[in-house]
Amino acid sequence: MTDSRLAPVLDRIDADLQDALDRLMTLLRIPSISTDPSYKADCAQAADWLAKDLATLGIDAATRPTPGHPMVVGHGGDGAAHLLFYGHYDVQPVDPLDLWKTPPFEPELEDTEHGKVIRGRGASDDKGQLMTFVEACRAWKAVHGSLPARVTFFLEGEEESGSPSLIPFMQEHAEELTADLALICDTGMVAPGVPSIASQLRGMLKDEFTITGPRIDLHSGHYGGPGLNPLKEIARIVASFHDESGRVAVEGFYEGVHEVPEELKRQWESCGFDEKTYLESVGYSQPHGEEGYSTLEQQWARPTLEVNGLWGGYMGPGSKTVIPSKAHCKITCRLVGDMDPDKLREKIRAHVAERLSPDAKVTWDSDLEGSPAAVMNTARPEFEAARGALTDEWDREAVFVGMGGSIPIAGYFKSILGMDAMLIGFANDDDAIHSPNEKYNVESFHKGIRSWARVLAALSEKG
């Protein structure tokens, strides 16, 4: 499609790239780790910075307090189409810190074999992606004096810590936050250079439990033998979560899971995903999930029960002959199809309770939430329009793909606001998000900005 409004906007984006990178660097220097209370002030600072930056685009933007970290909400532009853009300014914790080659919050441009990258926590997830949309709007504003559509900005600061304030805030401000369509930039490309629209996302269930053996820590000489060791107990229980085929062994776990339609499976197989590179890049010679499913199916269409943290006893230097009183385990499940997070939580808790030894006790963290899987409404014309815009920018057919990650917001937009969402992102599998040395390719950032400029053009023609 040709749109006379677009060419000057794209030129402006190219000319402004260095300044756009500098703005991203400024945002990346704010350590907005939402899950750790000691970074509360930093989260607030990131929100303030974004509200001020949006104001420079003529957006009526402000931070909005919540019981947790603030939201940033802004309104601007005009036109028939009304779009909501969502991203999150909070980031994951940075441990283990000693594995970072550069300080996580001192971002740097770095030349790599795959081109220039922006290195630092949040570069890809999600500050870098969020700014691709903001910069596209900045270029539209600079060239045409306004955005091509009505745009509502909705930026969250709790995405990496379970979004505790999100649902109440959306319910309270439903009218203000409802648009024709939500755009979300928090996903990746199925392969380098292959523009991707996520059409299905896995849901998420988080839980944490503590097993108590003896009332106090014990001397492993005095009680070694008769003593119940909660570390052995928790290891036995964690081991019982899966069978030898990699299948989750919790009774009823697969309720609501559907097989992938053959036709979609074929699309996935031809979407350019390079399984070998994907696995080898992290040191795997083979997939380690459920037998009988491809890597993409294991990741996009099959549920998981993952252990994210396991600890107890002495972890310091040297040795300590102790039988600890307590052992701890953090788990997350990825959900697909119609799996119900609340029912699943009960099944998992029952699985653990049934396997406890006499004298062992289990307690559960009650503050961890869940969200079901989400399937996008790809029948809407905006999806084809966006696919065309992405195909033009990347000179490669854009594809509908699944996503292994969980972005509950997409489901909430539908269930709370009755609004469909479209997920477009430019991250690469090797971005190391949630890991040390996170990076975002400058190509993703640059062509991502250009992509949003094209998508805005395509969607604003519709009106």
| 326 vs 313: CA distance, rounded Å | 7
| 287 vs 352: CA distance, rounded Å | 27
Shortest gap between Cβ of 283 and a copy of itself (angstroms)? 4
The pair of three-digit structure tokens given for residue 326, joined into one six-digit string: 């307590």
For position 156 contacting a copy of itself by CB under 8 A, the verdict is no
Contact mark string toward a copy of itself, 394..423, x via CB under 8 A: ---------xxxx-----------------
For position 304 contacting a copy of itself by CB under 8 A, the verdict is yes
Within 420-449, the residues that bind a copy of itself by CB under 8 A are 429, 432-437
Task: Please name the residue ranges forming H helices in 160-240.
Answer: 166-172, 174-177, 230-239
Q: CB-wise, 233 or 393, nearer to a copy of itself? A: 233
Q: CB-wise, 3 or 36, nearer to a copy of itself? A: 36
For position 127 contacting a copy of itself by CB under 8 A, the verdict is no
For position 308 contacting a copy of itself by CB under 8 A, the verdict is yes
Q: Would you give the DSSP letter of residue 191? A: B
Q: How would you label 346-371 residue by residue, b for 16+ Cβ within 10 Å and e otherwise?
A: eebeebbeeeeeeebebeeeeebbbb
Shortest gap between Cβ of 336 and a copy of itself (angstroms)? 10
Q: CB-wise, 77 or 104, nearer to a copy of itself? A: 104
At 451, the amino acid letter reads: S
Shortest gap between Cβ of 198 and a copy of itself (angstroms)? 11
Shortest gap between Cβ of 306 and a copy of itself (angstroms)? 5
Contact in structure between 73 and 176 (CB atoms under 8 Å):
yes
Distance of CA 47 to the CA centre of its chain: 18
Q: CB-wise, 79 or 230, nearer to a copy of itself? A: 230
Shortest gap between Cβ of 246 and a copy of itself (angstroms)? 9
For position 286 contacting a copy of itself by CB under 8 A, the verdict is yes
- Furthest-apart CA pair in the chain: how many Å? 82
Shortest gap between Cβ of 358 and a copy of itself (angstroms)? 6
| 61 vs 71: CA distance, rounded Å | 10
For position 292 contacting a copy of itself by CB under 8 A, the verdict is no
For position 461 contacting a copy of itself by CB under 8 A, the verdict is no
The pair of three-digit structure tokens given for residue 148, joined into one six-digit string: 């091509």
Within 37-96, the residues that bind a copy of itself by CB under 8 A are 37, 92-93, 95-96
Shortest gap between Cβ of 178 and a copy of itself (angstroms)? 27
| 385 vs 83: CA distance, rounded Å | 14
Q: CB-wise, 146 or 325, nearer to a copy of itself? A: 325
* Total of chain residues touching a copy of itself, rule CB under 8 A: 100
Contact in structure between 121 and 91 (CB atoms under 8 Å):
yes
Shortest gap between Cβ of 436 and a copy of itself (angstroms)? 7
Q: CB-wise, 304 or 451, nearer to a copy of itself? A: 304
- Which part of the chain contacts a copy of itself (CB under 8 A), choosing from 8-16, 34-42, 54-62, 414-422? 34-42
Burial label for 272, CB within 10 Å (0-12, 13-18, 19+), is: middle
Catalogue the E-assigned strands of 242-293: none
Burial label for 57, CB within 10 Å (0-12, 13-18, 19+), is: buried
Task: HSE, CB side, 13 Å, CA atoms: give it for residue 327.
Answer: 21
Shortest gap between Cβ of 316 and a copy of itself (angstroms)? 6
**Angular region, 326: left φ>0, alpha ψ -120 to 50, beta rest:** beta
Q: CB-wise, 52 or 288, nearer to a copy of itself? A: 288
Q: CB-wise, 121 or 450, nearer to a copy of itself? A: 121
Report angle CA 444, 448, 450 to the nearest 5 degrees. Answer: 130
Peptide bond connecting 303 to the previous residue in cis, omega within 30 degrees of 0: no
Shortest gap between Cβ of 359 and a copy of itself (angstroms)? 5
Residue from 173, 247, 328, 396 binding a copy of itself (CB under 8 A): 328
Residue from 357, 378, 391, 415 binding a copy of itself (CB under 8 A): 357
Within 369-398, the residues that bind a copy of itself by CB under 8 A are none
* Residue 330: other Cβ atoms inside 10 A: 16
For position 345 contacting a copy of itself by CB under 8 A, the verdict is no
Shortest gap between Cβ of 76 and a copy of itself (angstroms)? 32
For position 318 contacting a copy of itself by CB under 8 A, the verdict is yes
Within 200-259, the residues that bind a copy of itself by CB under 8 A are 202, 204, 206, 208, 213-229, 231-232, 234-236, 238-242
Report angle CA 121, 124, 125 to the nearest 5 degrees. Answer: 75
| 30 vs 160: CA distance, rounded Å | 15
Contact in structure between 148 and 456 (CB atoms under 8 Å):
yes
